[in-house]
Structure 1
């Protein structure tokens, strides 16, 4: 009896230690994502701004938004530049909409890069890569639906301007994400120490992501033995609607869809969540990131900012509604692609380089 009691206490203590370790590793993981984004911005922001001014052709606009976001690793950064250009009169709201569509695709490169940390472990990599690319396939399908519709009718830009007209003059209290408060000081300190060498910041962030993901998967696998899997399955991700709402709320809280969706990658890799559970969560994250942008826009009370924020929200909202009849397609595509990628791992790197960088650059040079 005494031995059982002692064993129970030891098990509880071990569980608490693992949970604390999980939070520490999560901190380093999210810090590395923010650091990587900050480093890419040092390289890419001026180039991204120059790119965005070549947006007369909506198709080129999509690829410019995609490439610019893949370069700076942040759709929020791209959207902020778009807001500035619209406010300055360098861009119309009609030209801004394709950029936002492209930014939605470009931001998914972060997930795919993070899934690469699992590449040496076959089954794990297959699950992680599928969970990362389901976001890509959804956004690509949404653009294929919405871009021709926008080009034919202008309904997104018209609706955004109409909604902005209802809200001009709206002000508010600044919303500061709790994660920003604990991550930004560390990121700023790292930039202060080695900010003159962005390549070094990128290298450090990749190393931290690799090891933090490895530890995350190991810790979560051991915690699964303590019923965390049943908690995810029976509560947080029990239904698609619940996963969708969780994606919205968590993204609004952390103010980054990249962090929200990237956290699902190791959960998939560890086998805790399935692609069917992650997909609605990803859709929620897409909506959540636009709510954050709307809050920021209303704070500025800038008509340009509010128009762009509404265009972003409407694109994601309508994209989600339009995908419902074929909601099984993106998960099936990502799983099929992951099955190929796990056998031919060079395709993973080729996919990132070709889809996010080479194709957009080629289209911009040929059609821009």
Structure 2
């Protein structure tokens, strides 16, 4: 029998069947769904690693008087500086929970700080959307996907900024006229009836992440410790970004392959069927993962891939905003509060909750405005992609930083 030029009988490829099987398996919906959820898991790992690194900056730039966040917060002298402080600190440490926790602890020790804590909490609400913007940059090499992803990230930012623009001046004006702001009164009223109650703390998400997260942190700490005392902080940030962007690529590609007509209908008709469903999904998921940054960031690559629309994720992000205040409130209730400081510390958690509820009541009827603005700005950024990085730096770091520096050294 003659052999073909490639040495195989009849010219057949001995790997033909296995190759076809491999392509069939990797192209199947089940396989791509599995890849999607694994990538999603590591996407959250990346955010957590990056967040741990940014929180480490608190130690790097801290002082003998306290951590970086405590040093900045204690220097608040007026509401505008407090607002900018909330934006800046949250953008740096990548966690509104870290900012509000610092504020709650300071109010518990010093009750007179309570009025200044309110604008910091409002600012933290704005700063938390920086993670969405960072995630959207993972699509920057593909203009159509980047335009959609950046718009999906911006809609959360525009809601938070608009809510702060409406509620923050009104809160401080009422305080000037009556001695107490309406958020201040509502927070104290709600806290008065709950001091001494016991809350609930959820740790399921930590049980799921820690088996992978802790060894990675331990390995990085070992490497960083041998280089420089603060090297671990920066390695965590860098490695977290790498994990985040790599997993983001797999999320987008696997989602496109896995979501056929049937799955798309499930997403549309169940999870994002209408505004109330999307809102409840965002609230529930945030309560589970205990981070609105994670919840809203998950939606960004799905918008970038054309799987979800901005209209679908807008109520979802609002639910995430409320969800992060609920988990913070439950955690606050689980702590032991005593005295006036304890009551006001609990009141801060309620202020955060009421701020988001009021924001939804005011802005959701006008939701076309933030959605329109998000699309317009994203269209410009897709055509001028370097400006997206400038936007990130100016809005979350430069502008609030200038206000803080001017207040410290000039006024």
Structure-2-length-normalised TM-score: 0.84
Moved more, 300-309 or 278-287: 300-309
> Aligned to 2:299, which of 264, 270, 276?
264
Tell which structure's C-alpha radius of gyration is larger: 2
How much has 1:200 moved relative to structure 2?
Answer: 1.2
Q: What residue is the counterpart of 1:39 in the other structure?
A: 53
Paired residues in the alignment total 359
For residues 317-357 of structure 1, the C-alpha deviation after alignment (integer angstroms, 9 at most, x for no partner) is: 11111112321111111100000000001110001111100
> Aligned to 1:208, which of 243, 264, 273?
243
> Aligned to 2:379, which of 327, 339, 358?
339
- 1:319 pairs with 2:359: yes
Structure 1 residues 90 and 167: CA distance shift in structure 2, 3 A = closer
- 1:182 pairs with 2:208: yes
**1:117, 1:210 within 8 Å by CA — same for their partners in 2?**
yes
Q: Which ranges of structure 2 fall in alignment gaps of 5 or more residues?
A: 1-20, 60-66, 175-180, 225-231, 338-342
**Which SS does the other structure have where 2:198 is aligned?**
coil
Q: What residue is the counterpart of 1:366 in the other structure?
A: 406
Structure 1 residues 204 and 12: CA distance shift in structure 2, 3 A = closer
For residues 171-226 of structure 1, the C-alpha deviation after alignment (integer angstroms, 9 at most, x for no partner) is: 134322x2221213433322222234211111111111111111111100001225
Q: 2: distance between equivalents of 1:190 and 1:99?
A: 33
Q: 2: distance between equivalents of 1:19 and 1:74?
A: 29
For residues 80-127 of structure 1, the C-alpha deviation after alignment (integer angstroms, 9 at most, x for no partner) is: 101111111176221111000000011100000000000001111111
**C-alpha RMSD of matched pairs (Å):** 1.7
Q: What residue is the counterpart of 1:57 in the other structure?
A: 78
How much has 1:60 moved relative to structure 2?
Answer: 0.6
How much has 1:12 moved relative to structure 2?
Answer: 11
Q: What residue is the counterpart of 1:145 in the other structure?
A: 166
Q: What residue is the counterpart of 1:78 in the other structure?
A: 99
Q: 2: distance between equivalents of 1:179 and 1:226?
A: 31
Q: 2: distance between equivalents of 1:357 and 1:194?
A: 27
Q: What residue is the counterpart of 1:66 in the other structure?
A: 87
Q: 2: distance between equivalents of 1:74 and 1:132?
A: 16
Q: Which ranges of structure 1 fall in alignment gaps of 5 or more residues?
A: 1-6
How much has 1:299 moved relative to structure 2?
Answer: 0.7
How much has 1:308 moved relative to structure 2?
Answer: 1.2
